[in-house]
Amino acid sequence: MSAAEKPTLGIAMVGHGLMGRAHSHAWRNVAAIFDLPVTPVMTVLCGRDGVAVERARRWLRWNDASTDWHTAIERPDVQLVDICTPSASHPEIALAALAAGKHVLCEKPLANSLTEAEAMAQGAAQALQVGARSMVGFNYRRVPAVELARQIIAVGRLGEIRHVRAQYLQEWLVDPAFPLTWRLTQEEAGSGALGDLASHLVDLTTHLLADEITSVSSLLRTFVGERPFPAPRSDPDAVARSPGAHGAVTVDDASLFLAQFSLGGVGSFEATRVAAGNKKAMKIEINGTAGSLRFNVERLNELELFEGGDDAGFRTILVTEPRHPWMSGWPAGHVIGWEHTFVHQARDLLTAIGEDRDVFPDFGDGLQTQRVLAAVETAHRSRRWEPV
Nearest to 195 by CA among 250, 119, 268: 250
- CATH (domain of 77): 3.40.50.720
pTM for the full model?
Answer: 0.94
Task: Tell me, yes or no, whether 53 and 195 share the same domain.
Answer: no
- State which of 139, 160, 178 marks the end of a domain: 139
Question: Which tops the pLDDT comparison, 4 or 213?
Answer: 213
Task: Tell me, yes or no, whether 171 and 308 share the same domain.
Answer: yes
What pLDDT does 308 receive? 85
Report helix angle 363-382 to 114-128, nearest 10.
Answer: 170
d(CA 324, CA 146): 11
User: Would you say 104 and 37 are in contact if contact means Cβ atoms under 8 Å apart?
Assistant: no
What pLDDT does 242 receive? 61
Range of the domain at 171: 143-229+242-336+361-387
d(CA 133, CA 150): 24
Task: Tell me, yes or no, whether 183 and 38 share the same domain.
Answer: no
For the stretch 155-202, pLDDT in tens is 999 999 999 999 999 999 999 999 999 999 999 999 999 999 999 999
What sign does the CA torsion over 71, 348, 132, 119 have? negative
Kindly state whether residue 356 falls inside one of the protein's structural domains: no
What pLDDT does 236 receive? 45
For the stretch 196-243, pLDDT in tens is 999 999 999 999 999 999 999 999 999 999 999 987 665 444 555 666
User: What Cα–Cα distance (Å) separates residue 339 from each residue in 25, 39, 148?
Assistant: 8, 20, 18
- State which of 139, 171, 190 marks the end of a domain: 139
Q: Is 115 helix (H, G, I), strand (E, B) or coil?
A: helix
User: What Cα–Cα distance (Å) separates residue 278 from each residue in 69, 249, 267?
Assistant: 37, 22, 22
Task: Tell me, yes or no, whether 175 and 316 share the same domain.
Answer: yes
Cα angle 339, 356, 201 (rounded to 5 degrees) comes to: 40
Q: Indicate the average pLDDT of the chain.
A: 95
For the stretch 282-323, pLDDT in tens is 999 999 999 999 999 999 999 999 998 778 899 999 999 999
Kindly state whether residue 349 falls inside one of the protein's structural domains: no
Nearest to 226 by CA among 258, 193, 245, 249: 249
